[in-house]
């Protein structure tokens, strides 16, 4: 279980997170929605300990991430996988090397086993046969899917997805949604998905949370969320469903 307790963060005097509270249950899919620029990515970076909060804490199974030193933090990050909003692929490595990277770093698998896993993960994200391409030769959507393959390569306990389907066509969006669902069902992976896409959020989420002005203003199952009394939530749902 990940607990976010009263989290504050500002940049050069601009408050981004302003007392955020959220519980992310183990083995479930939590979707975080909210207008762009409201601090969703900033929240995700705190969950994996890339940034330290100004105030408040992130607790992973009762361990306060801010209290860890760099070696302990490095150790605890083995339990995570993360897909960045802009993929953050290593541009000096080709697609194969990118996906193989976490396997090479953290397992003693033979090259043969690594190859099998890479091929499997690439086919899961619909990119078979692109192993030799460099990230600079890929479209934004393809890069993102390579990033996804890299994030799931080690099958970590917790996967953070920063807008996994933004910029993908509807068919690919559904395929990725199904992939996230399937990983959670088969391997009980704890997933945190940032999304703009309301219909897709309702389809995959066990829990939906909405960020607004630096706070979580609503959290609940899709049904609870749909019937929220909050005006901001209803407006966001209306606009999102109209668009999607």
Partner 1 sequence: MTAILKFIPFWNVLLAALMGLGDWCRFAWASITWTFRPPYRYHNFFYQMQFIGVQSLPIILLTGLFTGMVFALQTGKTFALFKMQNLVGSTVGLALAREIAPVFTALMVTARAGSAMAAEIGTMRVTEQVDALYTMAVDPLQYLVSPRVIGCIFMVPLLTMIFNYVGCVGAYLVGTTLLDIPSGPFLRHLYWYVDPEDIFGGMLKAAVFGFFLAMISCYKGFKTEGGAEGVGRSTTGAVVASSVTILVADYFLTTWILEFFTTHHH
Nearest to 199 by CA among 242, 230, 136: 242
Nearer to ligand ADP, 37 or 242 (CB): 37
Is 16 a binding residue for ligand ADP by CB under 6 A? The answer is yes
- Cα→Cα distances 108→114, 132, 161, Å: 9, 23, 26
Q: Distance between CA atoms of 219 and 225, rounded to whole angstroms? A: 7
Q: What is the largest CA-CA distance in the chain?
A: 55
Residue 149 binds which entry of partner 1, ligand ADP, Mg ion, none, with Cβ cut-offs from 5 to 8 Å by kind?
A: none
Q: Distance between CA atoms of 37 and 42, rounded to whole angstroms? A: 9
Is 81 a binding residue for partner 1 by CB under 8 A? The answer is yes
What six digits make up the tokens of 175? 């395929």
Is 40 a binding residue for ligand ADP by CB under 6 A? The answer is yes
Question: Using an 8 Å Cβ cutoff, are 244 and 197 in contact?
Answer: yes
Residue 16 binds which entry of Mg ion, partner 1, ligand ADP, none, with Cβ cut-offs from 5 to 8 Å by kind?
A: ligand ADP
The binder of partner 1 chosen from 12, 13, 71, 242 (CB under 8 A) = 71
Shortest Cβ distance from residue 177 to partner 1 (Å)?
22
Shortest Cβ distance from residue 234 to partner 1 (Å)?
34
Give the neighbor-by-neighbor strand order of the sheet with 29-33.
80-83, 158-162, 190-194, 29-33, 207-212, 215-220
Is 91 a binding residue for partner 1 by CB under 8 A? The answer is yes
β-pairing verdict for 63-64 and 55-60: antiparallel
3-state secondary structure of 23: strand
The binder of ligand ADP chosen from 18, 21, 41, 66 (CB under 6 A) = 41
Contacts with ligand ADP by CB under 6 A lie at 11, 16, 34, 36-42
Contacts with partner 1 by CB under 8 A lie at 45, 48, 50, 70-71, 74-75, 77-78, 80-82, 84, 86, 88-91, 101-102, 105-106, 150
């Amino acid at each position: 279980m990940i607990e976010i307790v009263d989290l504050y963060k500002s940049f050069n005097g601009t408050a981004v997170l302003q007392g955020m509270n959220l519980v992310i249950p183990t083995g479930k899919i939590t979707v975080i929605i909210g207008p762009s620029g409201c601090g969703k990515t900033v929240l995700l970076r705190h969950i994996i300990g890339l940034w330290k909060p100004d105030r408040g804490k992130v607790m992973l199974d009762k361990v306060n991430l801010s209290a860890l030193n760099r070696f302990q933090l490095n150790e605890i990050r083995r339990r995570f996988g993360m897909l960045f909003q802009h993929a953050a692929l290593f541009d000096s490595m080709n697609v194969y090397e990118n996906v193989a990277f976490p396997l090479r770093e953290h397992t003693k698998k033979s090259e043969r086993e690594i190859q099998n896993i890479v091929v499997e993960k690439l086919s899961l994200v619909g990119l078979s046969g692109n192993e030799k391409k460099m990230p600079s030769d890929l479209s934004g959507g393809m890069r993102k899917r390579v990033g996804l393959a890299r994030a799931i390569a080690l099958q970590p306990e917790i996967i953070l997805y920063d807008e996994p389907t933004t910029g993908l066509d509807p068919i690919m969006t559904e395929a990725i949604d199904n992939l996230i669902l399937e990983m959670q069902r088969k391997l009980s992976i704890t997933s945190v998905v940032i999304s703009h896409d309301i219909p897709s959020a309702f389809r995959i989420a066990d829990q939906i949370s909405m960020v607004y002005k630096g706070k979580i203003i609503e959290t609940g199952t899709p049904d609870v969320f749909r019937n929220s009394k909050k005006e901001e939530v209803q407006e966001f749902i209306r606009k999102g469903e109209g668009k999607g």
